[in-house]
């Protein structure tokens, strides 16, 4: 199976998930792996990729690709795919991929199989596993009909340290693009004003999720944080609702933390949250649903009503510390 891995980069560096994608391509494609980088002045990055095991590395270069646009990237990768005819095109499931890969797949009359967590071969064809209902169910996906097929891979689903070294041929690919094709005019990326709360420095974090149910109940978790000497954090929905400020959000769109202890209160454990905290040394989860995905990453868990458990826990902690 001929596999093309599309690697992502920003500010002169490869995105951390690029190596995971290339490792996955090596495992699925064996010897028939090509990799591509899209941009402008990316020669050094392409050379770095060429030190890995692959047949060819394509720097896809054009001045119109200097800044990412969905229209520009779609046209560029479309041209490369039509030229190289891969059976399978793999992407890291990043915000950038989410912005243009579905458009690319549509242009080639395919559906993108997005956010895949595992793959296996069955009778010579791949079966991809992805999560449904926010991680509550898994599904096996089969590809139908001829390639190219398009698949994006969830962060951390493949290990970058499994990547095999080697030497790949560099083949520059210059797509035909013109400025009128590109309708989006992007401005320079920016960060909001400096974060007042640096959760990454906290040794202990108490984090609140949907289970808290109401803004008026936040003090229940706050009291546990006080007992532990912890910072208070939250999952995305809590910040979306304005119950806690956005700067206290942990997860893919918030901060990534790895404290000594992370206490998840009423957090079910959607993948977007897990990627932001699963590196914590000790994880404690309190949730009424014994099947909540958060218990998959937890070291200790209490299944029960958080409004009974959390006050009891705060009291026991104060006793233990006294």
Q: How far is the CB of 164 from other proteins (least distance, A)?
A: 26
Best CA proximity match to 38, nearest among 10, 17, 20, 59: 59
Enter the tokens of residue 8: 């992502």
Angstrom distance (rounded) from CA 313 to CA 315 = 5
Angstrom distance (rounded) from CA 203 to CA 213 = 26
Best CA proximity match to 162, nearest among 9, 27, 2: 27
Residue among 49 and 294 whose Cβ is closer to other proteins: 294
Q: How far is the CB of 317 from other proteins (least distance, A)?
A: 6
Residue among 52 and 236 whose Cβ is closer to other proteins: 236
DSSP letter for 52, please.
B
Q: How far is the CB of 47 from other proteins (least distance, A)?
A: 25
Best CA proximity match to 88, nearest among 134, 21, 41: 21
Q: How far is the CB of 48 from other proteins (least distance, A)?
A: 21
Residue with tokens 């020669």: 43
The number of angstroms, rounded, from the C-alpha of 192 to the middle of its chain's C-alpha atoms is 21
Residue among 53 and 131 whose Cβ is closer to other proteins: 131
Q: For residue 148, say if its preceding peptide bond is cis, omega within 30 degrees of 0.
A: yes
Tell me the pairing of strands 261-265 and 204-208: parallel
Q: How far is the CB of 144 from other proteins (least distance, A)?
A: 6
């Amino acid at each position: 199976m001929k596999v093309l891995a599309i690697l992502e980069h920003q500010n002169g560096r490869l995105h951390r998930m690029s190596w995971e994608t290339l490792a996955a391509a090596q495992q699925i494609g064996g010897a028939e792996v090509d990799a591509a980088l899209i941009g402008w002045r990316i020669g050094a990055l392409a050379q770095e990729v060429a030190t890995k095991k692959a047949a060819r590395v394509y720097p896809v270069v054009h001045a119109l690709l200097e800044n990412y646009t969905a229209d520009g990237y779609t046209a560029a990768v479309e041209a490369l795919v039509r030229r190289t005819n891969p059976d399978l095109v793999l992407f890291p499931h990043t915000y950038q991929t989410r912005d243009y890969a579905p458009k690319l797949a549509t242009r080639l009359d395919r559906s993108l199989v997005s956010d895949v967590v595992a793959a296996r071969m069955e009778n010579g064809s791949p079966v991809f596993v992805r999560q449904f209902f926010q991680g509550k169910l898994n599904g096996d996906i089969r590809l139908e009909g001829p390639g190219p097929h398009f698949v994006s891979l969830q962060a951390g689903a493949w290990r970058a340290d499994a990547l095999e070294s080697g030497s790949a041929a560099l083949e520059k690919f210059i797509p035909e693009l013109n400025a009128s094709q590109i309708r989006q005019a992007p401005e320079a990326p920016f960060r909001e004003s400096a974060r007042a709360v640096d959760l990454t420095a906290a040794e202990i974090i108490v984090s609140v999720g949907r289970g808290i149910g109401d803004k008026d109940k936040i003090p229940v978790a706050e009291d546990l944080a006080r007992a532990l000497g912890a910072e208070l954090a939250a999952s995305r929905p809590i910040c979306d609702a304005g119950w806690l400020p956005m700067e206290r959000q942990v997860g893919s769109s918030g901060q990534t933390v790895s404290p000594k202890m992370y206490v998840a209160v009423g957090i079910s454990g959607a993948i977007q949250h897990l990627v932001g905290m699963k590196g914590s040394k000790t994880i404690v989860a309190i949730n009424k649903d014994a099947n909540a995905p958060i218990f998959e990453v937890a070291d200790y868990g209490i299944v029960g009503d958080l409004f009974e458990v959390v006050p009891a826990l705060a009291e026991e902690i104060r006793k233990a510390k006294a």
